[in-house]
């Protein structure tokens, strides 16, 4: 493990809005974690979120300036009678710094941004068997909400 990453903690991390130069780092981290390189998806997501009102793409850097992770969220309103609320669409933290509070800092920062935009509820959606993210979001105080996801194959 890189010695710079080894010593950084929650207090050393800086959270800032994404910049165009971060795109390749986001693509690389996502590919490392998911095993799929989604260049077109992340390019389109950057276009939709970076610098847009009510949408957030935040980057975490360690105290040494190394890319540590990111979170993406936005305000959504009125789907199936829902009042406007904040949605976290994804959060990824470099495995080398997981467990050091980077995800907590990202989550708290995006919640502050969304609260500043006037929402008082935050939502996300995860797979039932995604124990890592389930544990993370439960540790943030999140619990089951009033909506149930329904799905079926199209064919």
More confident residue, 150 or 67: 67
Pair of tokens at residue 126:
């995860």
Q: Tell me what the pLDDT averaged over the chain comes to.
A: 88
Q: Which tens digits make up the pLDDT trace of 71-86?
A: 999 999 877 777 889 9
How many angstroms separate the CA atoms of 26 and 38, rounded? 10
Closest alpha carbon to 122 in 101, 105, 145, 99: 145
Q: Which tens digits make up the pLDDT trace of 86-100?
A: 999 999 999 999 988
How many angstroms separate the CA atoms of 86 and 123, rounded? 6
Taking domain 3-139, whether its CATH number is 3.40.50.261 is answered by no
Residues in the chain: 155
Q: Which tens digits make up the pLDDT trace of 25-52?
A: 999 999 999 999 999 999 999 999 999 9
Report percent pLDDT > 90 for the chain.
61
Average the pLDDT over 133-141 and give the result: 87
pLDDT over threshold 70, residue 7: no
Give me the residue label for tokens 């847009």: 52
Query: Domain segments of the chain: what residues?
Result: 3-139
Determine what percent of the chain falls in helix, strand and coil, rounding each to the nearest 5. 40, 20, 40
């Amino acid at each position: 493990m890189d010695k710079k990453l080894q010593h950084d903690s929650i207090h050393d991390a800086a959270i800032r809005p994404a910049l165009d130069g971060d795109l390749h780092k986001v693509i690389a981290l996502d590919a490392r974690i998911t095993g799929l390189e989604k260049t077109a998806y992340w390019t389109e997501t950057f276009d939709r979120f970076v610098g847009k009102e009510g949408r957030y793409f935040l980057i975490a850097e360690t105290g040494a300036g190394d890319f540590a992770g990111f979170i993406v969220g936005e305000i959504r309103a009125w789907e199936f009678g829902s009042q406007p609320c904040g949605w976290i669409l994804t959060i990824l933290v470099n495995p080398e710094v997981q467990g050091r509070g980077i995800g907590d800092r990202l989550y708290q920062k995006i919640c502050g941004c969304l609260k500043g935009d006037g929402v008082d509820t935050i939502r996300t959606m995860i797979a039932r068997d995604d124990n890592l993210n389930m544990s993370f979001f439960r540790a943030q105080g999140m619990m089951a909400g009033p909506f149930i996801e329904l799905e079926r194959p199209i064919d």
